[in-house]
Amino acid sequence: MLIEVAETHPPQYGKKVATVIAKGGDKFEIWPEKLADLKAGAKYEVDVAEQPMAPPSPSMVTPQSQRRATASLSSSPPCSPR
């Protein structure tokens, strides 16, 4: 999947993954050590895998069927920004 990076965000306090927001608004989780390689406005080929969400705690009202997308960069270099 080809995405254009609009924003990147480091992990929030107590969290283990960073967030990448694509130009269309899609959000992807990524390992923090890969975040430094991304530049806003550049296009990247990413592999996306869905992972089931952790079971909700009793105080949360979140359906268990909800999933999150986790992106990983491919080994190919980024596409040239247009």
Per residue of the chain (82 residues), give pLDDT as tens. Answer: 889 999 999 999 998 999 999 999 999 999 999 888 899 999 998 888 877 665 554 444 434 333 445 555 553 445 544 4
- The DSSP string of 1-35 is -EEEEEEEEPPPTT-S-EEEEETTS-EEEE-HHHH
Query: What is the set of domains in the chain, with CATH numbers?
Result: 2-57+65-73 (2.40.50)
Q: What is the dihedral of CA 70, 73, 75, 76, to 10 degrees?
A: 130
What's the whole-model pTM score?
Answer: 0.61
Q: Give dist(CA 43, CA 5) in Å, integer.
A: 6
